[in-house]
Every structure is written in C-alpha cells, then in structure tokens.
Amino acid sequence: MAEDLTRTVARDQWRAQVEAALAEGFTFVDWLTAVDRTYEDEPALEIVTRLLRIEPGDVQGVRLTTRVPVGESIESLTPVRPGFAFHERETCEMFGQDFEGFTDDTGLGLRPLLLPDGFEGTPLRKDFQLAARASKTWPGGKEPGEGHDSMKSPSRRRVQAPGVPPPEWGPR
C-alpha cells in the first residue's frame, strides 16, 4: 500500500476537487471528518476526506483538506456520492459544521446521528466543556506536583488540558 497523496484545496473548489479525485479512480469513500483549528489566529475547521483507489493487489489513497471559517458552511458531497451522508452527519453533530445542500433521500436534512436526544453542544470541539472532568480530578497529571502527592516538586503555572473547565464551573 502506497502512502496517501495529500491535496490542500480552496474552499470554493472543495466539491470540484473531490469530483476530480473520483474521476481519477479514487471511487471508494473511506471517511470524512473535521479537525478543530479554532485556537489558531484564523479560527477554522479543517474538513478532511480520504478516498481510495482499489485495484487488484494495490490500494492507494488521497486525502483532500480544506479550511472553513467557524460558523460558515461548505458544499455537501452527498449529491456526488451518497456514501458521504453518514460522515457529514457525524461531522455536523460532533463539530457543528454545516454542509450546504446535504441530502440522503430522506428529506430530513442534517440531523443527530450518534448522540442522545436533547444533547447540546459539539463534543469534539476543543472548547467543549467535559462534565466528567469537572466532577472528578483528572488522573493524568502532566505537570510537576499534579496527581503525585507523595512526590513534591517545584510548582509551575498549572496548564489545563483541553476540555477541562475552570474550577468555578459546575455544581458546588
């Protein structure tokens, strides 16, 4: 199996570049997801998809990536290949990314896929507050003095892991 080809594409060329890859023989939809880059100077989500070209004795992949500013939508790939529907629903639910023109022939549009009814928030975004981390101490101490009471070491500024709410958050 050869190393994946990687292509960074402009947002306005997203669908056209995916269609071009499909025309090159990358016809198997492997996955589509997002990467949270909201902490950077220009907050955005990177939308990434991987397509495969499968031939006897050989599999080659291509990864296409584009950046979408937070709160903006991107063209859905479901009109091109129905196999993108599951992945776009998951990415919408977990990251809050909207896909313009989404269709899965149900007429129901983008809707929850994995989370329970009534769940609020986007759990794979870095700014999502994890309730479990607020209710009990984080066992994976990474800083000197964290989680290792028997070993005292000089303290440094405490750095909180992504998703850990501030101490004043939650029930008291």
- CATH class of the domain at 5-100: alpha beta
- β-pair partners for 53: 60
Confidence at residue 130, expressed as pLDDT on a 0 to 100 scale? 74
Element (H, E) at 55: strand 44-55
Residue 66 near residue 10 (C-beta atoms within 8 A): yes
What backbone torsions phi and psi does residue 91 show, to the nearest 5 degrees? Answer: -65, -35
- Please report, in tens digits, the pLDDT of each residue of the chain (172 residues total): 678 999 999 999 999 999 999 999 999 999 999 999 999 999 999 999 999 999 999 999 999 999 999 999 999 999 999 999 999 999 999 999 999 999 999 999 999 999 998 999 999 999 888 776 666 665 665 555 555 554 555 555 566 667 777 767 766 5
Q: Which of 156, 132, 131 is nearest to 143 (CA)?
A: 156
Q: In what order do the strands lie in the sheet with 58-69?
A: 5-8, 58-69, 44-55, 28-37
* CATH 3.30.460.80 residue spans of the chain: 5-100
